[in-house]
Amino acid sequence: MRPSIPKTRAWLEPRLRALWNRIPATAVEVALLWIGGLALGALAFQATLALPLPAALACWGAAAGLGLLLARRAEPVLWEGGGGGREAEPEAVQDQAPPPPPPRVPPLLDLVQVPGGTFRMGSPPTTEEQIAAYARDWVEAFGGELEKRLDDARHWLEREQPAHLVCLSPFLMARVPVTRGQWRAVMPEAPEEWYKAGNDVDLPATHLDWPQSLAFCNALSEREGLTPCYRVDQQGEWHWERTADGYRLPTEAEWEHACRSATETRWFWGEDPAGAETYAWCRGNSGRALNPVGSKAANAWGLHDLAGLVYEWCWDRYGAYPQETDPPPQDPVGPQEGGPRVGRGGSFLDPFEDLRPAFRADFRPVDRVDFLGFRCVRSRARQP
């Protein structure tokens, strides 16, 4: 009984494919087979002279078929160095494929979009009544003679003047200061003062100097596949690469703009200092102890703890404000020279007067205290 056509085809196809894959697929093999084909053609030509017509046509057909087969095989081998009609090996395909991108690490920080624009930075000239009220608050909070505190208050309020217009590009700012839990997720070591506390993962990361805060920004950038913003030269000076897309400290102008959140009042919640109870941890409600980040209400842009809790490092060196210019400066970065760096926001140890967006403090870059932390920003225009 003759086998059915499907069974015959199933038996024949794998054998034909195996025969096809045996056909030479290198340049040397094709050249040798080509010479053989020419010899076969010559013999066929000679044989046709003595063969009957059907046999001669069969010889010529075999020679033509072999020639076409050689042409099909030779073209990719000789011109592209490939494997002709042979099926590509899986390993070769894998070698040519680009390596897969590394897995993307989920962002550690919750960032808020801060709009750009022009705002008035600093405070207008103060009255003697405001100076006296400020001095009395300091006497109540820190003690001392009122006469001496009057001089201190006048000096500190002058640091916020003159008020001047500043133009800023949009950026992204962390919703809360960097926490101790976030620090430990990125950095190999933590300040020993932290181990005196219990469950402190949500407390702000304090006892960190200015260079340590920059190092955290760089490490977090590398963790998330971003370009670090900072580099250190051979003299130990830190430099900001402003085209980098990684995390960084805010400038002083960015910090005040974010804190004000489009308001022009003395505090971002209004003219009444009583709002500190809702928005800030300060001397009047903190118990003179650190509290978890984000546990007070946010400002109008969704940012927590910009008033009170801890001072926050800024990139800028501390220096006197410039006079207002027209047009206003775009994205200022502070003085080019100087030692102290700016800290903003007041802390859990300060009276409500120090929680104003315009209030300025300065710290040595090596200072590590329990009322000083930091938060990160990124330049919004360079986000993926």
Query: Which residues are paired to 174 by β-bridges?
Result: 111
Q: Are 276 and 267 in contact (CB under 8 A)?
A: yes
Q: How far apart are CA 375 and CA 358, in angstroms?
A: 18
- Which residue ranges make up each domain of the chain? 14-96, 111-123+160-382
What DSSP element (H or E) covers 372?
Answer: strand 372-373
CA 364 from chain center: how many Å? 28
pTM, 2 dp: 0.73
Give 303-359 as a 3 state SS string: CCCCCECCEEEEEEECCCCCCCCCCCCECCCCCCCCCCEEEECCCCCCCHHHHCCCC
Instruction: Per residue of the chain (384 residues), give pLDDT as tens.
Output: 444 555 566 666 666 666 555 555 566 666 666 677 667 666 766 666 666 777 777 777 777 776 666 666 555 544 444 444 444 444 444 556 676 665 677 899 999 999 999 999 999 998 898 899 888 888 888 888 888 889 988 998 999 999 999 999 999 999 999 999 999 999 999 999 998 766 699 999 999 999 999 999 999 999 999 999 999 999 999 999 999 999 999 999 999 999 999 999 999 999 988 889 999 999 999 999 999 999 999 999 999 999 999 999 999 999 999 999 999 999 999 999 899 999 999 999 999 889 999 999 999 999 999 999 999 999 964 433
Q: At what angle do helices 53-80 and 27-48 cross, to 10 degrees?
A: 160
Q: Which tens digit of pLDDT belongs to each residue from 317-362? A: 999 999 999 999 999 999 998 999 999 999 999 998 899 999 999 9
Q: What is the Cα–Cα distance from 321 to 3, expressed in whole angstroms? A: 99
CATH of region 111-123+160-382, choose from 3.60.15.10, 3.90.1580.10, 3.90.280.10, 3.40.50.300: 3.90.1580.10
Tokens representing 150 are 């009057």
